[in-house]
Amino acid sequence: MTTLRARSILLAPALGLALALSACATATPGDDPSVPIDDMPVLDAVDVAGEGTVIQVGDAAPQFCLGAIAESYPPQCSGPELIGWDWDTVDGEESAGDVTWGTYAVTGQWDGTSLFVGSAIMLALYDPLPVPDPALDPANAGTTADERLVEIQSTINDEAPMEVLSTWIENGYLFVRVLFDDGSVQAWADDAYGPEVVEIRPALRVLE
């Protein structure tokens, strides 16, 4: 199996987070400047971070599972392809048959289809600073009736412009987790259901 190390492509915002992550890690990915130009991210890629399961079956490309995972051994899941993932630069993986997997916090560049890996750390060692969610503040509770939220929840999988990873109702809102949102998915939800009804939460978060 051949993998590329795309560690040198991490831009400044993601690098800052990667350094913060490495402070609490026993091992972090190394840098390799020998990445071919054709494997570099496109210019309009976005720096992102996410937490999930990385899984690789045989010689297929590694995938970053951010949604449901089948409770089997080995696990079964799917997600966007990881470009530049190298098992030799991380710890904590497991293998069974031709499947290798592990849970990680990953930063990199998202081009809308694939994630170009910048850094990775075992999820068990990842200790991010808490980021309060205003929609979970009891002082900012939603006013939509639960019956209406349940109704929206039952149909939003078919109506949303992007695959829905999960949904839950809390504090008077319907929270919808999707892979990525550049603001357009939240704008769609506000237009379709009214503002402060559906709260979109992306699995791949944009790094400021």
CA distance 59 to 108: 22
Task: Please indicate whether residue 199 or residue 7 has the higher confidence score (pLDDT).
Answer: 199
Mean pLDDT of the chain: 84
Q: Report pLDDT for 129.
A: 84
What are the residue ranges spanned by the domains of the chain?
7-125, 134-206
In the predicted structure, residue 3 carries a pLDDT above the cut 50? no
Q: Report pLDDT for 131.
A: 86
Handedness of CA 5, 20, 108, 40 (dihedral sign): negative
Which DSSP string do the residues of 126-150 spell out, in sequence order?
A: --PPP---GGG-GGG---S-HHHHH
- Residue ranges of the alpha helices (H) in the chain? 12-22, 146-159, 184-193
Q: What is the DSSP letter of 185?
A: H
Q: Report pLDDT for 135.
A: 97
Least confident range from 36-40, 128-132, 201-205: namely: 36-40
Tell me the mean pLDDT in the region 62-91: 96
Q: What fold, for 134-206?
A: Alpha-Beta Plaits (3.30.70)
* Closest C-alpha among 89, 78, 95, 79 to residue 118: 89
Model confidence band, residue 68 (pLDDT cutoffs 50, 70, 90)? very high
Q: Report pLDDT for 15.
A: 36
SS3 of 20, please? helix
In the predicted structure, residue 38 carries a pLDDT above the cut 80? no
Least confident range from 31-35, 147-151, 185-189, 190-194: namely: 31-35
Tell me the mean pLDDT in the region 3-7: 35
In the predicted structure, residue 27 carries a pLDDT above the cut 90? no
**Global pTM?**
0.78
Q: Report pLDDT for 24.
A: 37
Q: Report pLDDT for 134.
A: 96
Q: Report pLDDT for 202.
A: 98
Model confidence band, residue 8 (pLDDT cutoffs 50, 70, 90)? very low
